[in-house]
Each structure stands twice: as C-alpha cells, then as structure tokens.
Structure 1
C-alpha cells in the first residue's frame, strides 16, 4: 500500500525534505507536481524527517506537492530482451525504442557470502599483450584502470569489451560526454558485439542521482545473468564521476566532509560496488573492470587511494600506453602458470630488462658513456615499446609470448636474459638468433 504525505519542509539543490513515517532507506517515491510526476529516492532518515534525492531536480516542486512512497528500493528489468539496448540511470530506455515489460530485481543487494564464492582460476583473454602477458585479467577480479584526463581510457575499456572472451558485456557510463557515449555505442555496433551487450549510460547533462544508480543497475543485471551460468564482464567508466556525485549530494545534505570534501563513507560506497565481482560456485562469474581518472595524476587522491585498497591491483594508463611498472594484477599468479610453461619466465624477464633499459636511458640523458650492454638494452626497449606496450597492438596470448621471445632473440644472447636454461632451450627462436648474429658480424666488419 502506498504511503502519501504532503508536508515538504525544505528544498535544497536536488534534495527535498518531507515529514513522513514508516519509510525505508533507499525507498522510491513519486512527487506529484503541477508539471507531472517526478521520481525520487530516500537518501537519509532522521526520525520523521525524510530526505529525498529527486532524479530530475527540484525545479517545479513546491511545498504543497504530494509525495507517494512506493515501499521498495530501485528496481531494474531483467530479461534477454535487454541485449543490444541502451538505458539511462533510471533504467528507462535511452535508445528511443519501445519499453520492455519483464520481471524486476532490486538493485544494491549485499555482496555474495565468501563461503559461496569459488577461488578465481580462469583467465579472461583480451588480445592486449600488456594485460594478457603482464597483468592478466582473471574471472571474478575487480581491476581498475588508473588514468588522467586525455588518456584513451574509454577506448581501452571498449577494446577489452570487444575482445574479451566473455558471454555478456554490461557497460555502465557515468558522467560521459555525449560524444564519448556515441563513440562507445558506435564501437560496439560496428564490431558486432552489441547483441551480447547491455548499456546503462549517464551523461554529464543528466541528473546527479542517476550517476549513482548506474553501477548498481549494471551489477544487479550482471549478477542475475551470472547466476544463470554466464561469464559476465562489467565495464564501468568513470568511477571518479560516481565519487564526485557522492560528494555533491553530501554537500547538499550538509554532511561533515572528510578528505578533500568527500564523504566519510567513500570507501564503503565504492567497496559495495567493487565487491559484487564474484565467481559463483556451480554458476557463472562477474568480473568488474572500472576506469578511475586521477585528478592531477595524483594517486594519493581519495578516489584512487580508496580504490587501491579495495581492488586486486590496477592498470596505469600513461602516455597512451599501459605503464609496465605501476600496473599490477594481484591474481595473475592464479592463472598465468596454467597458460603456457614459459608465461611467467617471459613475463619476469621482459620487465626486468625493460627496467634496466630505463636505467640506460637515464645514463644516456646524463651524458655517460654507453657500454655494449647499454646499447642492447636501448635497442630492446625501443622494440618492446613498439611491438608490445603500444596500445594499438592486438595479438592473442600465445602469439604475444612468441613475439616476446623474438624480441629477446633480436637483442640478447639466451644466457643474458636471466631465463632458466630448460625454458629458453625449448622456446628460443633459433632462426632469429642466427640472423641477429649475422647482422652483428656484418656491423662489426663495416666498423673495421
């Protein structure tokens, strides 16, 4: 039975306060105004004072308007008819196509009991070497992409969605510019994967509260499909917009601010979403890959700082490439030993040599004399960046591993790589080694 009240005592920003009883936290309400109904949600309870976040803003709302409480939190449709569709932060169609009638599920449910979770043990192939080889994405992992404004983080997220071996893609956009939304939608349409994709999009022009709803809508739908046995990949961009929306509402509610003005429960609010990543026992899985833009490239900012404590690693996107040293997948050791026997060895060797290349570059910039070993490292670093770390590179995992061996063979002798003899004897590309030796002899004779 609907509860109806008409004592709106305060209107501030997009928040209205009404005197009411018997109302639950996060319950939905409909405010009947002279311009039509307006949807709202309970965001604070203080005895009989109920604060409502109004989706479309408070314009046109007056103190005498009637408030109908629906008695349940936000719900979202769940049906196969959602594939290929685009919805807004209220769960309504954004693609100007007819609405869908189906069963609804509540959003914002608790994370799955750890006892019911299965230990992650399956890799998600993305076709991006810096992820597949060096920062392996694992089913049920929660992994953020740390970036700064101007980096192609949405493009990277879109490529993962297109190339990942997942059954279902759920894309949640928060605070997107309209052209960014259109680019992502066009990318999925032209690549032929829109048929297995569901989008919930909030643009910068949409109400703030809808931004807060997008992750919950995505995760609620993804969780239901995972319970059906599907491998779901949830892509979220940008969690910084989500946190900024929390901050805006906290300011309106006159809450005591915490670090840099963000609410004190920022960690809890973000963890509630990230912890929905799960590998169900006897069912499917849900993996969460989220973009986090760092204001001023400051990793100590509250948003990336809190994110780092919740998630299982991070991918750093800098200078239009995935940073080899700051990036980390804490679950990669659970799967990359099962992919191919040389995966871990080639991963460790390539990164160690690239770190030494950085030292050699620094020596060169400071005017120190370059040794033959430095020259090898510099050559290796240039080839490694062009053929592996560049974001335009698209190769399957095994081809990427073979390519790493070929790069090593072009620059080093097997014994110089630090790889165990039993491993390099099995995988070292002999024909490239012979060609490299021939080039070395020719260069030496030319110098004489």
Structure 2
C-alpha cells in the first residue's frame, strides 16, 4: 500500500457507525487510504469517503467498535488505496480485505494497482466473440456466456444460487487457453464459506483460483471493498498476464445493502427503498470493469449473483443490474420445488451476446438454431400447459400433447444435472436434439433441413459420433 504521510491527526470529532469524522485536516483527498492508531496500540484501516474544507469522513474497514475519540490518531496517504497484484494471488484464500485466511504469508506482487480501477476506453474495447463454457447445459446451450461479457444470475432466497456459482467457478474453461477464476463472496455464513472453499479446493490447488470471502459477521464496510479487490486482481491477470479471467461475485444484494447502510450513516438522502441515489453508478463502476482490450491478451468476464427480495425482479438491485448487464440467468422457484437442479427458467433467461460467441468456428454450426428452436418449443409448451389447466388434457390435440411431453423431457433429460456434473458442449447439444425430436418434424421449422441431414448422417453406424456439426 502507498506510504503514509508523517502527519497524524487527533481531532476525531465523531464516531458514527463505521464512520469517523476527523477535523483539522489539510491536503487530504477523496478515496485516500488511512491508518488509524488506537490508544491500545491496535491499528485499523479506512478510506476517505468525503472531504469538506478541514473535515474528512473516513470509513473504517474493521468498524469503529471499541474505538474512543480520545487517543485515536489518523494518518492519511497521498494516493487512493493500492494493493500488490500478480500471480501470487492464484491459489490463495483471503478475507474480504485481501488478508490471508489460509494460514499463508501476505500476498506479494511485483507491482501495485489502485483498487478503484479505471473504465476501459470504449475505443479500445474489443467486441466479445468467444465462449466461456461452464459445463452447465442450460447456460452453455441456451444462454451462452461470452468472454468479456457481464451476465448476472437472478435468484431468490432458498434457491441454490451459491451451489450454481460454485459449480460454474469449478468447471468453467476457455477451450484450453490460460484461464483463471476470481471468486468474491460477500455476506456469506460460515457454513456457506466452508462450502465454497470445499467446492473450489481442486481449482485452488491447481493455482487457477483467487478466493476472497467476506462473511456476515465481518465489518459491513469490508463488503464494499471485496468486489473491487477481486476486479483489480482479475484485471492484472487478464491484461498483463494474458489469462482469460471469470469473476464470480455473490451476493450483490448483500453488497448493495452494505452500501445502503453506509449511506444512511453518512446522512444521505435516500432514493428507492432507502438505497442511495448513486446505486446505479456504483454498480456500473463494478460491472463495467469487464471486457477485452484491443491489442492486449486476456479478458475479464463478470458473473454477478444476486438474490431478489421476495422474488421481486423490479427491486432496485436486479432492476438496475438488468439495465447495466447483457442479459440474465433467472432461477425458477417452480423448477426448484419440482426437484430440478439447476432450476434455470429458460424463457426468462437471456444472453444478449450469445450470437457473438456461438456457432460455426466457436461452438458448433447447429448451436444457434438448436437453441432458438428449443426456446420456441418451450414457449409453446408453456402455453399448452396453461391451456390444459383450463380445458383439460383430454381436449388437447395430438400435437399439443407432444409439446407437453417435450416440457417433461426438457426437465428430465436436458435441464436436470448433478452439482458436480461437468457436461461437455457435445453432450449438452446432443441432449437438446433428443428433446427436440420428441416433436414431429413439422414443428421444428426453425432448424434448416441440412442440419437434419447432418444429424442423420452422423447417427449412421459408419459415423463415429452422434452429434451434428462436430469438429473433426
């Protein structure tokens, strides 16, 4: 971290929740790093949130519990918070402040980078056009994740979003290219933190993972720092080391609630549901740090996970996230109640960049058409199910009945997957074809005839594969 000035201030005017108001300061800038020395000899750290003439408001990363106005000394750095970055982060488990939680030494790096980061110049952005395969069929086939994309997971309390996030982090690959995962957990219970560490132990041992865990009993301020640390580490690994990096951040609702708590402590005027008016720009400052830079190797892909209070997708956090990101993966309470994992709702989910990362030369030539046809067939199946509830199954036509069969086949043969099952794209697309072929050929008008011909050819006894368009 940056060197501190030799001037220490003792004029603590007020302790307010996680905030310290210091008076009599000079030459202190916004976002400067601060070290607080207590009368007991303990040292804490903080960041400057606001400066007004000779007053500075400091948010304390370890909270102000046990602090006394008298005897507290504060020294400020001349620059914003900076951390060491490098490949030394790979394989490490740290708390939300970046301090080791695995019993190892402090993380060192050859250079330092500002935690606040900087937006990528739009002129230098490279359009995303290559897939990140997660091993989860519903994502890889229907909402393909593309390198440099920001694609959130919308969930609700009680749904297995953490299990899905860990599975994606454990299985994701970029077709054999240098790859790493940065996992930032915010507001986790100790049981959830242990689950994350256990589920990602193999990837951590392979030095392909950076794990930052902020638990629910850690200071709330730390929760605001955790995703910024994760993205700072990811940017170095991507744009300097040339790796493709997937950043998984869960739960962004916990992050937003921490932001609301700090805003209330600062006495700011609240906006929707008491969240600060700058919630949109704050979330954007995180999500927009993903992408690819023209002329540089590597990419940063962001997968934020958030829970919608009471399943309300119009809640400020999912609502604003939807405006910033390029689609969403929505988990369904209905599918979860039926015992299906992962309980992805394919009709509510969308990847706006999927067409850039799927198809010939990227996944498989038949991938876009199969995905589009499967979504259309599922939409028709849902309409038929609603119709059956009104007039009874016996009144349905034979074609309508095949659509009901397709919905069941989709859940059982395509969507349902074990939490540790890593499905190849070939297997996932083969299952998608099997589900579609429960319908008559006349109902599959979105798939060109040549793809049927290729499938029939590849399924013949002389062929070594049973999937169309497979690479040779």
Same fold (TM over 0.5): yes
**Kept in 2: contact 1:171–1:235 (CA 8 A):** yes
Q: In structure 2, what is the Cα distance between the partners aligned to 1:428 and 1:351?
A: 23
For the residues of structure 2 that align with 1:221 and 1:72, how far apart are their CA atoms?
Answer: 19
Q: Which residue of 1 aligns with 2:80?
A: 73
Does 2:252 match 1:239? yes
Q: Secondary structure at the match of 2:281?
A: helix
CA separation of 1:153 and 1:67: change in aligned 2, threshold 3 A: same
Cα deviation for residue 96 of structure 1 reads 2.2
CA distance in 2, matches of 1:264, 1:355: 37
Contact 1:405 1:427 in 2 (8 A): no
The match for 2:312 is: 298
- After TM superposition, list the pairs within 5 Å mapping 1:13-412 onto structure 2: 13-19=17-23, 20-35=25-40, 36-64=42-70, 65-102=72-109, 103-166=111-174, 167-190=179-202, 195-227=207-239, 228-282=241-295, 283-319=297-333, 320=336, 321-338=343-360, 339-368=363-392, 369-392=395-418, 394-409=422-437, 411-412=438-439
* Mapped contact 1:322–1:391 kept (Cα < 8 A): no
Residue pair 1:162, 1:193 contacting (<8 A) in 2 also: no
CA offset at residue 360 of structure 1? 1.7
Change (3 A) 1:31 1:421: same
Shift, 1:220, TM fit: 0.4
Measured in 2, the distance between the counterparts of 1:3 and 1:381 equals 69
Q: Kindly state the Cα deviation for residue 194 of structure 1 after the two structures are TM-superposed.
A: 5.1
Normalised by the length of structure 1, the TM-score is 0.92
Provide the C-alpha distance between the structure 1 equivalents of 2:186 and 2:38, rounded to a whole number of angstroms: 28
The reply to whether residue 420 of structure 1 matches residue 426 of structure 2 is no
Residues in 1 aligned to 2:73 and 2:21: alpha-carbon distance in whole angstroms? 12
CA distance in 2, matches of 1:396, 1:168: 19
Q: How far did residue 76 of structure 1 move?
A: 2.0
1:94 partner SS: coil
Contact preservation (8 Å) 2:93, 2:212 = yes
- Count of equivalent residues: 431
Shift of the alpha carbon at 1:431? 7.0
> CA offsets per residue over residues 123-181 of structure 1, 9 Å max, x none?
11111111111101000000100000111111111111111114111110110111111
Query: Deviation of residue 413 (structure 1)?
Result: 2.7
Q: Which runs of 5+ in 1 are unaligned?
A: 433-448
Please report how far the alpha carbon of residue 430 of structure 1 lies from its aligned counterpart in structure 2 after TM superposition.
9.2
Following the alignment from structure 1 to structure 2, what is the Cα–Cα distance between the partners of residues 118 and 343?
Answer: 23
- Deviation of residue 190 (structure 1)? 4.5
Instruction: Choose 85-94 or 253-262, whichever is displaced more.
Output: 85-94
Backbone CA RMSD of aligned residues: 1.8
Kindly indicate which of the two structures has a greater share of residues assigned to helix.
1
CA shift at 1:193, angstroms? 5.6
SS of the counterpart of 1:337?
coil
